[in-house]
Amino acid sequence: MNYRSTRGQSDQVLAAEAILRGLAPDGGLYVPELFPILSVSELISLKKANYQERAFRIMRLFLPEFSEPELKNCISAAYNHNTFDDPAVAPLKQLTSDVHILELWHGPTSAFKDMALQMLPRLHMVSVTKAVQTQGTVILVATSGDTGKAALEGFKNVDGTQIIVFYPQDGVSEVQKQQMLTQEGSNVFVVGVLGNFDDAQTGVKQIFNDQEMIGLLAEAGLTMSSANSINWGRLLPQIVYYISAYVDLMSDDQINNQMPVNFTVPTGNFGNILAAYYASRMGIPVHKLICASNSNNVLTDFLHTGEYNRQRDFFQTISPSMDILISSNLERLLYELTDHDTTRVSGWMHNLNQAGYYTVDAPVLKQLHQLFEADFCDDSKTLQTIREVWNQEQYLLDTHTAVAFQVYQNYRKFSGDTTPTVIVSTASPFKFTHSVARAVLSSEQIAEAGNEFDLINTLAKITDQPVPLPLCNLDQKPILHSSVCQKTEMADTVLKLLGLIS
Ligand SMILES: *Cc1c(COP(=O)(O)O)cnc(C)c1O
């Protein structure tokens, strides 16, 4: 299987090369040349398989040059009882008769990024043995909070790699920041950027395209790669849980074979929902993909009008992992919807870079409207949703999942659509304790807790919900990282941390 760039100006490569590079040299994203179709009988045969086996049978279709033991080792190292606290890995919980919650936060950092970032470093290590280049790799990451920690956990002490994570200094939650600043590992660096997530992401993208940086690192025997959701090695593991959720619905007799379902996805960089689209391309019957945003609702507007315009106010919300105005993975969807028209895709991305917006044509918009629904939910509605679902169902939603839940409820009300629906749950409620506590505790109860870490215990006690192990005693861990830089200093910071300049 070959991988091509969405911009059409780079050579096609094998999966290993795509995973090692992250971004294609022409600035585009790597996409598989085709999507293998799973037949109904293959889906039925997955019913008896556990999550690891399902992952193997799906991922091998995209990684033909990985041997069976190589891929199986990657999967068992990523998803096991040490890394995930639920044997189902991505359990599907029934909320009401036709609404199910897909819990993707049972991994080491309590957010869904673990699903991908436990796999990527293992895929990376195997890829190094297959590719032309055998140098050391510097993984650069821009994070809105959850990716950073998950990437650090995935790559810590992985031979031949160093990882540098940039996070917006004032744009992540207290728990997220503490998780990153206490990160252990001999090859890890964490840096706060004085700016927002888009500044950090733009800075990292510039470094990847900076010929001088590439040259300086090459002299030191290093190449750069990305653990952001633009890396194919992150998207691929995400396809698995959509297929797995569908198979679970079939197994529980919630749906008949070939009956369509909806997926509602709290969306930021468009990686998670793109994986749902890819699962539909592989034969999972999908009625609607419902794209849920917070007040940074650039995707809602885009999916309604066809104009993507990032020139708008940026809001810091209580669902910070979705505080994004440039959703990079949308480029991959446009590539598919234009039938691989790299000229048009490049033009739009050029406009986005230069002018801050682009508008897709009517045929593309029509396809978007056929499959996608989109809406957004502001902070006060998000809190209200957490409170209502807790009171009615005794299910505690985190802020991101609550955005998705509210958007779904609205959609259901105005459309009357009762198709069985999976709400994708992307974080443990304890990862965003401060906001969740505001929704379900009284102000006295909150005031009694001294800080966010005490509040975790208060929330756990009052709701009688278990705190995920990675979030226990976080405040007692030593701070190991303290670097901060301006958004214009990111390249120099990389060189300094690697010891290439002083
Ligand atoms: C990253 C993240 C999202 C957004 O996912 P995308 O793939 O960027 O669309 C949503 N919720 C949580 C908790 C996240 O960490």
Looking at residue 108, the DSSP 8-state letter turns out to be T
Residue entry with tokens 């190292």: 77
Which residue spans within 3-159 are E strands per DSSP? 3-5, 30-32, 92-96, 99-103, 136-142
- Cβ–ligand 1 distance for 317 under 6 Å, the answer no
User: Rounded to the nearest whole angstrom, what is the distance from the C-alpha of residue 425 to the centroid of ligand 1?
Assistant: 10
Whether the pTM exceeds 0.85: the reply is yes
Provide the β-strand partners of residue 170.
Answer: none
Residue in 47, 93, 113, 156 annotated catalytic: 113
- Cβ–ligand 1 distance for 271 under 6 Å, the answer yes
- Cβ–ligand 1 distance for 426 under 6 Å, the answer yes
User: Rounded to the nearest whole angstrom, what is the distance from the C-alpha of residue 463 to the centroid of ligand 1?
Assistant: 25
> Best mutation site among 328, 332, 426 for ligand 1, i.e. most ligand atoms within 8 A of its Cβ?
426
**What backbone torsions phi and psi does residue 351 show, to the nearest 5 degrees?**
-60, -40
Q: DSSP secondary structure string, 237-274?
A: HHHHHHHHHHHHHHHTTSS-TT--EEEEEE-SSSHHHH
Decide: 487 and 193 in contact? Cβ < 8 Å: yes
- Cβ–ligand 1 distance for 455 under 6 Å, the answer no
- Cβ–ligand 1 distance for 13 under 6 Å, the answer no
User: Rounded to the nearest whole angstrom, what is the distance from the C-alpha of residue 468 to the centroid of ligand 1?
Assistant: 19
Mark whether 487 is an active-site residue.
no
**What backbone torsions phi and psi does residue 12 show, to the nearest 5 degrees?**
-75, 150
- Cβ–ligand 1 distance for 238 under 6 Å, the answer no
The secondary structure element, H or E, covering residue 373 is strand 372-376
Can you tell me the distance from the alpha carbon of 360 to that of 306, in angstroms, rounded to the nearest whole number? 5
Angle in degrees, CA 334, 336, 338, rounded to 5:
65
Tens of pLDDT, residues 213-257: 999 999 999 989 888 888 999 999 999 999 999 999 999 888 887
Tens of pLDDT, residues 336-361: 999 999 999 999 999 999 999 999 99
Question: What atom in ligand 1 is closest to the CA of residue 324?
Answer: 8
Q: Cβ atoms within 10 A of the Cβ of 123, count?
A: 28
* pLDDT at residue 40, rounded to an integer: 92
- Cβ–ligand 1 distance for 113 under 6 Å, the answer yes
Q: What percent of the chain has pLDDT over 90?
A: 85
Query: Whose Cα sits closest to atom 14 in ligand 1?
Result: 321
- Helices first, then strands: H and E counts in the chain: 22, 15
**465 closest CA partner among 402, 388, 397, 379:** 397
**What backbone torsions phi and psi does residue 469 show, to the nearest 5 degrees?**
-50, -45
**What backbone torsions phi and psi does residue 254 show, to the nearest 5 degrees?**
-75, -30
- Cβ–ligand 1 distance for 107 under 6 Å, the answer no
Can you tell me the distance from the alpha carbon of 212 to that of 22, in angstroms, rounded to the nearest whole number? 19
User: Rounded to the nearest whole angstrom, what is the distance from the C-alpha of residue 263 to the centroid of ligand 1?
Assistant: 15
Listed in sequence order, the residues at least 6 apart from 259 whose beta carbon sits closer than 8 Å to its beta carbon are: 285, 420
User: Rounded to the nearest whole angstrom, what is the distance from the C-alpha of residue 149 to the centroid of ligand 1?
Assistant: 13
User: Rounded to the nearest whole angstrom, what is the distance from the C-alpha of residue 124 to the centroid of ligand 1?
Assistant: 22
Listed in sequence order, the residues at least 6 apart from 108 whose beta carbon sits closer than 8 Å to its beta carbon are: 83, 84, 114, 118, 150, 153, 470
* pLDDT at residue 38, rounded to an integer: 96
Decide: 195 and 487 in contact? Cβ < 8 Å: yes
Average pLDDT along the chain, 502 residues, taken 10 residues at a time:
97 94 91 96 96 98 97 97 96 96 96 96 91 81 88 92 94 88 96 92 91 94 87 96 97 87 96 98 98 98 97 93 91 98 98 96 98 98 98 97 98 97 97 94 91 91 92 91 95 95 88
